[in-house]
Structure 1
Amino acid sequence: MNAIANDVVVWAAESDAAAPGLTLVPVERRLLVPPGDHAGFVDRVAALCEEHCIDVVIPTHDTELLPMCVERGRLERIGVGVMVGSMQTLLACLDRFEAIRQANGVIGVPDTKIFDGSFRPASEEFPVVVKPRRGGATMGGRVIWSTEDLDNLPRDPQTIAQEFLSGAEYSVDVLTNRHGELIDTVARQRLRVNPGVTITCDIAENDALAQAASAIATAIGLRGAANLRFRYDGNGSPRLLEVNAAVETREMWRMWLDELLGVELVSAADTGDGGEGGSMAAAE
């Protein structure tokens, strides 16, 4: 988190005192919070923000997103911004099937079905990709090439079966202001992934992806930033694969902080001083 900006004071909050994330900050800026799904999670975060004059909270785990979204107003009333999307956006981020549902009719999407007992694809529909509806970075995805392979998998309504797309894959960070107006997009071609996390990429100037990202941002009610993953189909058109709550580019994090704090965070490396910054905590 220290890489986001040089002119903010970063605190780290973890539910485990031995978590390696705490070592990213000095001992005096390490905080302990309950897990995100604990009833006292937001209470503890709010108390720590008031105690340490923290301006912005960045949830970094899926279990923290919904409670922080629900309690956003409470935190804002004590002067704390929360880097989390709207409820509509979070539903798309946390459920790949819901993301496809919201995007369908707005831009191209791969054919996607719930992987339950009713899913019986015709032979010409193979290969298909079977993956969890929920979970970060498309963990657990698997390409299935035949009915025989498909029959060896347990059916589960928390799993989806998706049309296989063989084209280039792109990751697009998109940022809007609090009114949903587009601020910027950054597209990157994903050249090497391990597993689900971009290891090697190229920044891409791509008008089609920028337009698609803008349309999706409107469709999912984006307020703030999100990461969109696209893959091209055989006709050369981008189709949405999923929406993620965490953006991938440093500059997008900085611009989102600018929007929340209401000031432009000029890097201390550029100005030679601390600039007009703030204090933030990353909770996990």
Structure 2
Amino acid sequence: MKTLNIYFNRWFSVAYHYMNLLRRNEDGVPVKIFATHPDIRHMSLQGADVAGTEPALQGMEYVHFCVEYCRKHEIDVFIPRLHMLDIALHADKFEAIGTKVLVCRDTELLEALMDKGKFYEEVLQSGIMPVPDYHVVRTAAQFKAAYEDLAGKGHRVCIKPTETEGGLGFRIISGKPANLEDLFGYVTPNMTFDEVYRILDEAGTFPDIMVMELLEGLEYSIDCLADRDGRLLAAVPRRKSGKRLRLMEHVPELEAIAARVAGTYRIPFNYNIQMKYSGGVPKLLEINPRMSGGLHISCLTGINFPYLAVKSLLGGEVQPAAFGEDVLASYVEQPLIMKQSGDPALADAAN
């Protein structure tokens, strides 16, 4: 059986788990993992068979680097994260050298998904799920008006850049300034209205910011698997159930939202829908058109999300996969001896 060469460009540390899930595939397909990252000691590279550094490039220069890397290493499947949109726009260059790219090829949709303001507007028009009350602002004056509107409706207010990943840039607008208790307590994302307004006013110009109602109920990540045509094959709602506990559970209204998202947008392969409840109503936070940071935990349901996505990309038939009983999981840190820079496994001429 031919070994499948799979390449990850700059990913999060959890890619370490994705790589091992690909190796432990149910079809017994031999897999060789290639990975690059600016930091040769990055955790994600510890899961690779061949790893190397990648240059700090943008746009077409970065695409050309990835194409040449795939050509040199005879990569069968490329799973991108960094500069995903640029790579999707030029996926044909990878196809021309025999590399399949695990990415949404609808670049207009992909661009909208990466801009929360644009995507919220799209969702409002489609009506497939509720979104928080929000405004997109570009000036300090607009921020002030947006804050007053949302506060006037009885909402607590938060802000987040329209284009960001994870919790970067997320702040809660608090009514009280920091005090000694805050100084000696845990670091929080709280800032006062006056602090935020002053920073924005002094900056003058800044990237678009979403000012929105703060959702304070349960938060779910719905890990989704679809085939290459966007047909939904699996959806696993996952939430925190304590500091280290994660619960994968059947929530019919969330599973119905996943089905509507799939039917409307036809996002292929792996993606993640983040929802949070407010007053008993689940509202959209964002959709990530890639494997989520907690996907390896959702795989404890018995669904190998990374491998099944790759199998579908390569033309294999993947049947709908459901999980049975709810699954409660946790995690512990595990020490790992790092591969050294002189290790043959890291001897990649990309650096």
Asked if 2 retains the 8 angstrom alpha-carbon contact of 1:128 and 1:163, the reply is: yes
Q: TM-score, normalised by structure 2?
A: 0.65
Corresponding residue to 1:212 among 252, 257, 278: 257
Q: What is the 5 A alignment of 1:145-156? A: 145-146=174-175, 149-153=192-196, 154-155=199-200, 156=206
Per the alignment, in what secondary structure is the counterpart of residue 257 of structure 1?
helix
Q: CA RMSD in A?
A: 2.6
Mapped to 1, the partners of 2:119 and 2:246 lie a distance apart of 24
Q: TM-score, normalised by structure 1?
A: 0.79
* Per-residue deviation, residues 25-69 of structure 1 (Å, max 9, x unmatched): 34xx123433352532222222222222211111122xx211110
Corresponding residue to 1:255 among 308, 314, 317: 308
Q: Cα distance 1:138–1:219, how it changes in 2: closer, same or farther (>3 A)?
A: farther
My pick for the range that moved more, 216-225 or 64-73, is 216-225
**Total equivalences in the alignment:** 256
Aligned to 1:174: 224
Corresponding residue to 1:57 among 71, 78, 98: 78
Per the alignment, in what secondary structure is the counterpart of residue 179 of structure 1?
coil
Q: CA deviation at 1:203?
A: 0.3
Corresponding residue to 1:184 among 211, 216, 234: 234
* Per-residue deviation, residues 248-279 of structure 1 (Å, max 9, x unmatched): 324221221111123479xxxxxxxxxxxxxx
Asked if 2 retains the 8 angstrom alpha-carbon contact of 1:103 and 1:216, the reply is: no
Mapped to 2, the partners of 1:36 and 1:253 lie a distance apart of 27
* Per-residue deviation, residues 144-197 of structure 1 (Å, max 9, x unmatched): 24499323213455211111222111001122222222121111013468xxxx
Residue identity in the other structure for 1:126: H
Mapped to 2, the partners of 1:17 and 1:167 lie a distance apart of 40
Q: What is the 5 A alignment of 1:201-280? A: 201-234=246-279, 236-248=280-292, 249-250=295-296, 251-263=304-316
Q: CA deviation at 1:241?
A: 0.6
Asked if 2 retains the 8 angstrom alpha-carbon contact of 1:103 and 1:219, the reply is: no
Per the alignment, in what secondary structure is the counterpart of residue 216 of structure 1?
helix
Q: What is the 5 A alignment of 1:44-123? A: 44-61=65-82, 64-85=83-104, 86-104=106-124, 105-115=127-137, 116=139, 117-118=141-142, 119=146, 120-121=148-149, 122-123=151-152
More strand by share: 1
Mapped to 1, the partners of 2:234 and 2:93 lie a distance apart of 28
Residue identity in the other structure for 1:188: R
Aligned to 1:25: 48
Q: Cα distance 1:34–1:205, how it changes in 2: closer, same or farther (>3 A)?
A: same
Aligned to 2:336: none
Q: Which has the higher contact order (CA 8 A, sep 6+)?
A: 1
Residue identity in the other structure for 1:171: S
Poorly superposed stretches of 4+, deviation over 6 Å: none
Q: Cα distance 1:162–1:67, how it changes in 2: closer, same or farther (>3 A)?
A: same
Mapped to 2, the partners of 1:94 and 1:138 lie a distance apart of 14
Mapped to 2, the partners of 1:47 and 1:36 lie a distance apart of 14
Aligned to 2:164: 135
Q: Cα distance 1:60–1:4, how it changes in 2: closer, same or farther (>3 A)?
A: farther
Identity across matched positions, percent: 25
Q: Cα distance 1:89–1:172, how it changes in 2: closer, same or farther (>3 A)?
A: farther
Mapped to 2, the partners of 1:15 and 1:54 lie a distance apart of 20
Q: CA deviation at 1:124?
A: 3.7
Asked if 2 retains the 8 angstrom alpha-carbon contact of 1:81 and 1:260, the reply is: yes
Asked if 1 retains the 8 angstrom alpha-carbon contact of 2:231 and 2:266, the reply is: no
Per the alignment, in what secondary structure is the counterpart of residue 136 of structure 1?
coil
Q: Cα distance 1:55–1:131, how it changes in 2: closer, same or farther (>3 A)?
A: same
